[in-house]
Amino acid sequence: MDPNQKYHDLYNKFLGSLKERNYFFEVIKCCGYSELVSCTKEDSLKRLYEVIQTIFHTQNIKLYVGYKGVNVWIPKTDDIKIGDYLRQMEQKAEYPIPCNVVYKIFLDDGHCHVDHNMNRPFANVICNIHTAN
């Protein structure tokens, strides 16, 4: 078999299994920057925090999801699995089929400056949370 074809076959198989085994999240900072993050379907909410802290190079974060028009803090605990929390909070996919299922999470890293960020996407959502705490 051609080495290039073998690589592409392995890569496509990997991507397929990644989609089956993982949840995907669009993590959005106050400034509007967002990044796609994944965790396995077996992971806890604490593990979700650890992954996001590693990717965003910061430790003191709070994560939020939208729930019935209100932004709700995601607890940092080993006691709740990500999938259970997504169902409990009635989270819906952000993008239409045929896109992969991606859930939206807001990230407060403590660097939200209301006067700088109010015109950026989703800034008012996170900044309102940040200034209320």
| Structural domains of the chain, ranges and CATH numbers in brackets | 23-132 (3.10.20.90)
**Does residue 118 carry a pLDDT above 80?**
no
**Does residue 116 carry a pLDDT above 90?**
no
> 102-108 and 62-67: which strand pairing?
antiparallel
Tens digit of each residue's pLDDT (9 = 90 or more) over 64-94: 998 888 889 999 999 999 999 999 999 999 9
Task: Give the residue among 115, 73, 67, 108 at the shortest CA–CA distance from 90.
Answer: 67
Contact between 34 and 52 (Cβ < 8 Å): no
Contact between 61 and 108 (Cβ < 8 Å): yes
pTM to 2 decimal places: 0.80
Q: What value does the mean pLDDT of the chain take?
A: 86
Task: Give the residue among 129, 38, 43, 27 at the shortest CA–CA distance from 85.
Answer: 43
73: which 2 tokens? 């803090």
DSSP helix, strand, coil percent of the chain (3-state; round to 5): 40, 25, 35
Contact between 67 and 75 (Cβ < 8 Å): no
51: which 2 tokens? 């992954």
Q: Name the one residue in this structure whose structure tokens are 């859930």.
A: 103
